[in-house]
Amino acid sequence: MTTDAGDRLRTLLPQNAAERLQSLRLAEGRATLVLDATGLATSDRDAMEAAVKQALEGDAEVSEVRVAMMADKADEAAPVKSGPVQKIIAVGSGKGGVGKSTVATNLAVALARSGRKVGVVDADIYGPSQARLLGTEGQKPVAHDSRLVPVASQWGVPVLSMAHLSNPGQAIAWRGPMASGAVTQLLQGHWDDAEIIVVDLPPGTGDIQLTMLQKFKPAGAVIVSTPQDLALMDATRAVELFSKSGVPIIGVVENMAGYICPHCGEVSDPFGTGGAEAAAREMGTAFLGRIPLDIAIRRESDAGTPTAAGDGPQAEAFANLARSVADWVDSR
Ligand SMILES: Nc1ncnc2c1ncn2[C@@H]1O[C@H](COP(=O)(O)OP(=O)(O)OP(=O)(O)O)[C@@H](O)[C@H]1O
């Protein structure tokens, strides 16, 4: 795009949009604008987008206008509000690989089985896995009134994940504020029917997680840990992160607790037993139960058929977890 064309298009923008312009590109007749939508209500965003399109579509060099609204400055942003959603439940962990995403999926499916209206938002935008876990890979959400429509899964749990918006294997390397802006778009989808949204947080306890929590203000948090000491230390950091953000902790789930032999079904405890329960007690938080290390859980997760949708003993473990979370939600 020539500077002249860029300057000319800028002058065509309505004043309120020009003030929020982050970038403007014109390539092969397509004008792509990024606007800072911080603090704008949905209706104001929609009006601004429509006005920008109308202003630029009249230009001889422009055949198409695309507008991306990013709520970039997380600390100034209005809290996320997505229709009549009552409760956002965050699922977090002090470190990666402890089964946080697996627990988030199965918690949501178990809640749905118990009659709750549940959605899943995959906030783990650097390693999104909810599309695979819920068997919705390859599906693309449509936008309606500038808001994403969640992708339906066959488990009665609609889902929005960056995995639905990016190409498989595509690296996503956003700055922290952009990351939380992207999550905002997922949370501001058409969740009108959901009474609970389970949010799969990125692993860890850094600034990205803190910013997200402050911005979308979950009603409560579930912390996933494995029985190892190291993971428990990380879980302690996760507890601190939620406390610092003013998010009440629903409790700690011990995942990969006890190994179930795929041949004889015998249960062994390579990492000891009872560690997470004791740690939860020490931290003054509830213990929400154990999910064993079972190869069937991994296999079913990879196949996009969540264990909680089945009838085995592990489905029962997730059903118990869902009951505890639902009771907590109802008590608020
Ligand atoms: N209870 C379990 N039994 C067997 N396999 C499990 C169990 N929980 C999780 N897994 C497997 O462990 C791996 C990591 O799980 P998952 O992706 O849910 O972890 P995570 O904490 O979300 O990781 P990250 O956020 O770092 O990607 C996956 O292959 C998953 O199928």
| Numbered residues of the known binding site for ATP | 94-101
Residue 175: its pLDDT value, please? 60
H-helix or E-strand containing 65? strand 64-70
Q: What is the largest CA-CA distance in the chain?
A: 74
The domain of 128 spans 87-330
- Distance in angstroms (rounded) separating the CA atoms of residues 294 and 267: 10
| 91 and 61 in a common domain | no
The domain tally of the chain equals 2
CA of 140 to the centre of ligand 1 (A): 24
Show the ligand 1 pocket: residues with CB < 6 angstroms. Answer: 93, 96-102, 124, 127, 129, 203, 255-256, 291, 293-294, 297-298, 301
Structural domain includes residue 28: yes
Structural domain includes residue 80: no
Burial class (CB in 10 A: 0-12, 13-18, 19+), 68: middle
pLDDT under 50 in the chain at which residues?
72-79, 81-84
| 120 and 94 in a common domain | yes
Atom 29 of ligand 1, nearest CA residue: 298
pLDDT in tens, 60-85: 999 988 887 776 444 344 445 444 45
Residue 209: its pLDDT value, please? 85
Question: Of the residues 301, 302, 321, which should be mutated to test ligand 1's pocket, given the most ligand atoms within 8 Å of the CB?
Answer: 301
Residue 82: its pLDDT value, please? 42
Ligand 1: atom nearest CA of 302 is 31
pLDDT in tens, 168-226: 555 555 566 666 678 888 998 999 889 999 999 998 888 878 888 888 889 999 999 99
Structural domain includes residue 265: yes
Residue 34: its pLDDT value, please? 78
| 45 and 93 in a common domain | no
